[in-house]
Amino acid sequence: MRTIKGPALFLAQFAADEAPFDTLPNITKWAAECGYRGVQLPSWDSRLIDLNKAAESKDYCDELKGQAAENGVEITDLSTHLQGQLVAVHPAYDEAFDGFAAPEVRGNPKQRQEWAVDQVKKALSASRNLGCSAHATFSGALAWPFLYPWPQRPQGLVETAFDELAARWKPILDHADDVGVDVCYEIHPGEDLHDGVTFEMFLERVGNHPRCNMLYDPSHYVLQCLDYLDNLDIYKDRIRMFHVKDAEFNPTGRQGVYSGYQSWVNRAGRFRSLGDGQVDFAAIFSKMAANDFDGWAVVEWECAIKHPEDGAREGAQFVKDHIIRVTERAFDDFASGETDVAANRRMLGLDR
């Protein structure tokens, strides 16, 4: 067993043009003051990292690590959630997702996809230069508009979508293997990889690639009414990253999982700041320790009610209170004796 590292904070929801959220030195100082020991960087945010430079220069990455270390925090890993989304986009979402891309490739799905693939590869190279062993991303989606089968899906539609998704990601996964970094897909509604079954469909198509892994976030499972504790045991060998995020699901006679197009505040299922939702984090942290999870507990703040700075400060303490310092000895060691093979055989009645 291992003691989980943390707490760390995903900075995507906090980066801004105003201090202290405008530069890596400023935001890491603020994060440390909140009680964090690590930060997860959004690779698309040029206020915090120059991705092109990070992919090419270990010296630059050492400089970034040094800026964080001066404030007492580590750079735990990079994220390409926005770029990964653009690796596979159904035409229904072209306009909605176009803003995630560089201006020069907007309006051109083919060029946008090529740009996205290049971005994820660069982030994987930058991860290596930063000394990070795992990388967070989204899978993108081709089949998502056909999630609910009405009208009936044409035979082979989903299979074709997953064949194509795997073909787009396989070269990226191979590059990840070349640089020694795990690709951790956040299992998330809106992505083709949104539960265990869809992850397995994809994993099979990429040949059980060793770099194809999961980012575990129980909040997304609460909103799908999926057993998030059982999921930990099923996929423990593939879970390489952990987002600590809370959620609640309160169905009524008027709305359930789909929540009737309501705003986040008015949905039956909604994300909450840590401790304000329904996730059993005591059980999760226990399973993570027992399953020998070798990674960081990264707070991802998403809440439609509480102020983000309050959520961040409370989240750091919440994770500290839940991390289990694993024991190095059994609780009943005081009653143990020396190993005696002959005595063991006698106790089992084997030498009669």
Q: What is the pLDDT along the chain (352 residues), one digit of tens a residue?
A: 889 999 999 999 999 999 999 999 999 999 999 999 999 999 999 999 999 999 999 999 999 999 999 999 999 999 999 999 999 999 999 999 999 999 999 999 999 999 999 999 999 999 999 999 999 999 999 999 999 999 999 999 999 999 999 999 999 999 999 999 999 999 999 999 999 999 999 999 999 999 999 999 999 999 999 999 999 999 999 999 999 999 999 999 999 999 999 999 999 999 999 999 999 999 999 999 999 999 999 999 999 999 999 999 999 999 999 999 987 777 666 567 677 888 888 888 897 7
Q: Which residue has the tokens 């693939």?
A: 117
CB atoms near residue 285 (< 10 Å) = 21
- Helix, strand, coil tally for the chain in percent (to 5): 45, 15, 40
Of the candidates 322, 351, 346, 119, the residue with the CA atom closest to the CA atom of residue 218: 322
Distance CA 65, CA 334 (A): 44
CB atoms near residue 72 (< 10 Å) = 13
In the structure encoding, which two tokens stand for residue 61, read together?
């990455």
**Does some domain include residue 352?**
no
Question: How much is the pLDDT for 333?
Answer: 64
In contact, 95 and 144? CB cutoff 8 Å: no
**Does some domain include residue 21?**
yes
State which amino acid sits at residue 128: R
Question: How much is the pLDDT for 257?
Answer: 95
Question: How much is the pLDDT for 231?
Answer: 98
Of the candidates 38, 224, 199, 47, the residue with the CA atom closest to the CA atom of residue 134: 38
**Does some domain include residue 220?**
yes
In the structure encoding, which two tokens stand for residue 266, read together?
């008015």
Of the candidates 68, 71, 74, 15, the residue with the CA atom closest to the CA atom of residue 46: 15
**Contacts (Cβ under 8 Å, ≥6 apart) of 147:** none
Query: The CATH number of the domain where 157 resides is what?
Result: 3.20.20.150
Of the candidates 175, 5, 17, the residue with the CA atom closest to the CA atom of residue 75: 5
**Contacts (Cβ under 8 Å, ≥6 apart) of 200:** none
Distance CA 105, CA 118 (A): 13
Question: How much is the pLDDT for 334?
Answer: 59
**Does some domain include residue 15?**
yes
pLDDT tens profile 57-112: 999 999 999 999 999 999 999 999 999 999 999 999 999 999 999 999 999 999 99
pTM of the predicted model as reported, rounded to 2 decimal places: 0.94
**Contacts (Cβ under 8 Å, ≥6 apart) of 326:** 1, 2, 3, 289
In contact, 120 and 84? CB cutoff 8 Å: yes
Q: How far is CA 157 from the centre of its chain?
A: 28
**Contacts (Cβ under 8 Å, ≥6 apart) of 35:** 7, 313, 316, 317, 320
C-alpha torsion 48→52→56→60, nearest 10: -20
Residues in the chain: 352
In contact, 161 and 192? CB cutoff 8 Å: yes
Question: How much is the pLDDT for 339?
Answer: 77
Number of folded domains that form the chain: 1
Distance CA 328, CA 83 (A): 42
**Does some domain include residue 111?**
yes
The end-to-end CA distance of the chain, in Å, is: 39
CB atoms near residue 332 (< 10 Å) = 7
In the structure encoding, which two tokens stand for residue 331, read together?
């609780």
**Contacts (Cβ under 8 Å, ≥6 apart) of 16:** 22
59: containing domain:
5-347
Q: How many helices (H) and strands (E) does the chain have?
A: 13, 10
**Does some domain include residue 104?**
yes
